[in-house]
Structure 1
Amino acid sequence: MDRFTLRLPADLARRFDAAAVSRGGRSRYLRTVMEAAANAPLPDLAGPCAAVGRAKLTIRLSLEDMALLEAEATRIGLLRTQWVVALIRRRLCGGLQLTPPETMALIGMRRELNRIGVNINQIARALNTAVMEGQVLDAEVFQLAAFASEIRAHVSGLDEAFSGNLAYWSAEP
């Protein structure tokens, strides 16, 4: 069983304990509260288009248009309803409409940038603590330049991904 430890202001701890007395004690009540929080639906984080409720929209398409819609949605990894919702949200609210593969690619880029940042911190720490001369220092400086170049390439890739996403969902040709 996992253990959670947290610090609370004394007043909050006293109030929680008072509420927990009639609910089986601190641990049992805390588990109940945590279970309710874990089972609660996650908020919709769609920004200005965040749905307070849901409404249904029905459209009629020709069989040819439906086949094209199905093929395009499948090609980018969405269900046809998800594709139509993303298109509408892009036109009404702007912003990115990421597909699952795009989301995974961006997560991968973030992971790589984080890895590079860790390496740069290690090199900077080594440069700060060691007195290096000659080839050793040159190698470290060269490695830093290589990391800077790699970071620029990843940032450029992110820029291209964002631009491509916005262009895909745009109505302009």
Structure 2
Amino acid sequence: MLDQAAAERGLTRNVWVATLVQHRLRDDAPPALPERQALADAWRQIRRVGLNINQAVHALHSATMTDSRLDLAREAARVAAMREDVTEQTRAIGQALKGDLSYWRGDDERG
């Protein structure tokens, strides 16, 4: 059962047991491999969106100029879509952290 529980988290048996004990004693166990990957993916997405937001804001500013050929509504829609991306990725990070913490605290029925 230890091997199975460890494999489900992408850990060796020894690392799984050490992480469980560490978390129960100090409440600071690192996220397991699947959660670390989810967090890294979400971080990359948010970073990408952050870079795009700067470009979109610049485009919105340019679109307000009288001689601009940019479509203000289209640029505003781009910013709204990026906002939705940030919300989605923030939710993903929260779910990954919540899932990891509940696992190590024993909140699930597997113990």
Return the match for 1:157 from 92, 95, 103: 92
- Runs of 4+ with >6 A deviation: 132-135
- What number of residue pairs does the alignment pair up? 106
Contact in 2 for aligned 1:123/1:140 (Cα 8 Å): yes
For 2:96, give the aligned amino acid: A
SS in 2 for 1:77: coil
SS in 1 for 2:56: helix
SS in 1 for 2:96: helix
Report the Cα distance in structure 2 between the residues aligned to 1:69 and 1:138, rounded to whole angstroms.
Answer: 56
After TM superposition, the score normalised by the length of structure 1 is: 0.56
Report the Cα distance in structure 2 between the residues aligned to 1:126 and 1:118, rounded to whole angstroms.
Answer: 13
After TM superposition, the score normalised by the length of structure 2 is: 0.85
Structure 1 counterpart of 2:12: 79
More relative contact order, 1 or 2 (CA 8 Å, 6+ apart): 2
Match status 1:147 vs 2:82: yes
Which runs of no fewer than 5 residues in structure 1 stay unpaired?
1-67
Structure 2 counterpart of 1:63: none
Q: Percent identity?
A: 31
Q: Larger helix proportion, structure 1 or 2?
A: 2
Match status 1:103 vs 2:57: no
Offset, 1:107: 1.1
Report the Cα distance in structure 2 between the residues aligned to 1:170 and 1:127, rounded to whole angstroms.
Answer: 47
Alignment of 1:108-123 (within 5 A): 108-123=41-56
Offset, 1:148: 0.5
Q: Which structure would you say has the larger Rg?
A: 1
Report the Cα distance in structure 2 between the residues aligned to 1:124 and 1:92, rounded to whole angstroms.
Answer: 47
Report the Cα distance in structure 1 between the residues aligned to 2:61 and 2:75, rounded to whole angstroms.
Answer: 12
Offset, 1:146: 0.9
Root-mean-square deviation (Å): 2.0
Structure 1 counterpart of 2:2: 69
